[in-house]
Structure 1
C-alpha cells in the first residue's frame, strides 16, 4: 500500500526542545507533591512547582500530534497496520516494561508483593503502576484512533478549531467540577465494575485532551502558515503566554486568599483542565514553539536543550525512582523538605534522571534490547 507520507520536511528543533521543557515541568509537579506535604510549604514555591508547570502534560500531546502529522499526507492512503506496529513498539513495549519494573520494585520496597492477574490487568489498563505512566495509556488511545484524527484534521478550519476549544473547555469543566457527576462516581460501591472506569477517567479518556492534540495536527498540516504566523506575532504570542499564566496564577491565589482553600486544594482546582489551564496550555504551545524557532537566545543553551530533549523520554519514565530514593534519604537523615531542600531535590532528580538516560542509552548501543524496552529505540538498519 502507498504510504501516507510526503517527502521529509526539515527537522524542527523546537519539537525536541519542548519535550525537554515539558519533562522538566513534569518533574517539578512531582517534586511539588513532595514539598506540599510540609505544612509550612511556601505557597509561592508551590505555585512554581505545581501551577506554572501545568502545561507540561498536555503540551506533550500537542508535540506528539505535531510530529505525527508533520510528514503525513492527509490525502494519501493511510497504512494503519504499519503505523500501529511502529507506534506500539515505541510506546506499548516501554510502557509494559516500565510498568512491570515499578510493580516489582514497589512490591519489594513497600512489602506489598506483586498484584494478582486480574488486578494486574486493571493496573495496566488504567496506567496505575506509577503516577506518571497514565500519559502513555492516553497516548496509546490517541494512536489507536489515528484514522479518526486524520479525518477530523482534513476538515478543520480556524472557526471549527475555536468551536472545538469551547467544547473542550465545557467538557473538561464538567468532568473536573460537576458536583452531581463526581458525587455519583464516589457514591458507587467499591465492587461496582463501573467505578474504576469513571474514577480513572483521566487516565484513558482522550476527550480530556482532544483539542490540544488536534491543534498540533492542524498546525503541522499547515506548517508554512504556522511558521509565518509565529514570525509575525512573536510579541503577541509572548504577551498571550504571560496573560494566561497570570490568569491561572490569579485563579490559584484567589482560591487560597479569598476562598480559604489550602495550597493542596488550590492546585487541585487550578490545574490543566480548568478553563484558565486549557488557555494557558494553548498559549504555551505557541509560545515555546515560537521562541525556539525565531527568538534569539544564548547559543550555549542549544546543547543543553538538545540534551534535555533527546533524553526526555527516559527521564520522564525513570524520575519517580530517583524521587523515591532521594525522598527516603531525606527522611532517614531527618531533613524536612523546606523550600531550599525542595529546590535541591528538584535539581538532583533532574540531574540523576538525565544521567541515567545518557548511561542507559550508551549501554543500549551495545545491548540493543535495553533501548528497545526502555525507550522504544531500535538500531538503525
Structure 2
C-alpha cells in the first residue's frame, strides 16, 4: 500500500513579489550604467541606481533556493534526472533562445558578423551574448550542483552558517580586491586559454554566491521557525536592512569624497561582493521576505506586485532591447542624459518590458512555442 504524499505547503506570495523587486533593481543598475556616462551625473542618483539596487542579483539566488527546497523532502531520495530535466526546460532553453536572438539582433544593429562555432561556444559558456544573461549561467550551475546543496543543507546549523558567511566574505574579497590575483589575470596573454575562465569568473563561479543560496535553502527547510522569527523580529529586520544599506552607501561616498574615486570607480568597489554588500544582500532578503509575508504595506499594492513578479522573467531577459532603442532615440533626438531624462528612461524601460511580457504571454497561449522559448512555460497537460 502506497503512503500518500504529504500536502504541499501554502504558496508564498513573497517569493513572487521579490522576483518583481529584483527585476526592477536590475533594470535600475543597467539604466545607471547609461546615466554614469554623463560626466556631470548626479552622484546621489547614481547611488540610487547602482548601489541601493545591489541586492537585486544575489537576492534572486536566495528566493530560488527557498523555492527549490520549500516542498523538497530531504529524507527522500533526490531524483536528479527529473529535477534537471525540468530546470533545463525552464532555464537552459530560454537562455539559448535569448542568446541567439541577441547575437542575431546586435549583429544586424551594429553590423557585426555572427560568431564562428568556437567563439559561439565560448559566448554561451560564459553568458556573454548580452550583459544580463550571465545570471542564467550561474543559475544553471547551481541547479547542476543541487545534490551538493542538498547534502550541505541537511547538515547546516546556525553556527555553521556563521562560518560559511565568514568564508563567503573572505572569498569574495579575494576575488574582487586581491591586487596580485587581478594583476595575474589581466597580465595573461590574450590568446591564453586560461584567461577567459578567470576573467569571466563572475559569470559562472557559484562560489561568489554560495552563502545566500544555502541560506535560502536552510530557511526554507525550517520555514515554520523562519515565519515565527520574521513575525516577532520585523522591527529588528527593518533596522538591519537600513543599517546595512547605510553601511554600503557610506562606503560608496567614502570612496568618492575621501579617496578621490569617480562615481564609476566607487560603484565598482561598493558592490554586492564587498563585505557591506554581502551583509546588505542578507538584510534585504530577510527584510523583503518579512514585509511581503506579513503585508506591512497597503493591500492595494499586491495587484501591482503580482504583475511585476509574474512577468519579471521575461522583463529581465528583454529589457536590454528597450534600453538599446530608447537610448538610440534619446541620442538621435539630442536629449542629454540629465536626471529627469534618466528617471523617465527607467520607467519607460520598465513599462515597455512589462507590457511586452504581458503581450508575449498572451500570444503564447495561442502559439505555445513562444512561451516555451522565452520563459520556459509549457501548456498544462
Match of 1:8 in 2: 8
Unaligned runs of at least 5 residues, structure 2: none
| CA-to-aligned-CA distance 1:91-111 (integer Å, 9 cap, x gap) | 000000000000000000000
1: distance between equivalents of 2:208 and 2:279?
14
Match of 1:156 in 2: 156
2: distance between equivalents of 1:369 and 1:8?
29
1: distance between equivalents of 2:7 and 2:274?
39
| CA-to-aligned-CA distance 1:62-99 (integer Å, 9 cap, x gap) | 00000000000011000000000000000000000000
Offset at residue 40 of structure 1 (A)? 0.2
Matches within 5 A, 1:100-115: 100-115=100-115
Matches within 5 A, 1:265-344: 265-344=265-344
2: distance between equivalents of 1:118 and 1:302?
47
Offset at residue 295 of structure 1 (A)? 3.7
TM-score, length-normalised on structure 1? 0.99
Unaligned runs of at least 5 residues, structure 1: none
| CA-to-aligned-CA distance 1:132-191 (integer Å, 9 cap, x gap) | 000000000000000000000000000000100000000000000000000000000000
The answer to whether the 8 Å contact 1:6/1:73 transfers is no
1: distance between equivalents of 2:295 and 2:265?
37
Match of 1:117 in 2: 117
Offset at residue 315 of structure 1 (A)? 0.1
Aligned partner of residue 330 in structure 1, secondary structure: helix
2: distance between equivalents of 1:119 and 1:90?
25
2: distance between equivalents of 1:154 and 1:304?
37
Match of 1:367 in 2: 367
CA RMSD of aligned residues (A): 1.0
Distance change in 2, residues 1:205/1:297 (3 Å): same
Aligned partner of residue 373 in structure 1, secondary structure: helix
Offset at residue 6 of structure 1 (A)? 4.7
Q: How many residues align?
A: 379
Match of 2:254 in 1: 254
TM superposition outliers: structure 1 runs of 4+ over 3 Å: none
| CA-to-aligned-CA distance 1:263-291 (integer Å, 9 cap, x gap) | 00000000000000000000000000000
1:90 is the counterpart of 2:80: no
Matches within 5 A, 1:200-239: 200-239=200-239
Match of 1:194 in 2: 194
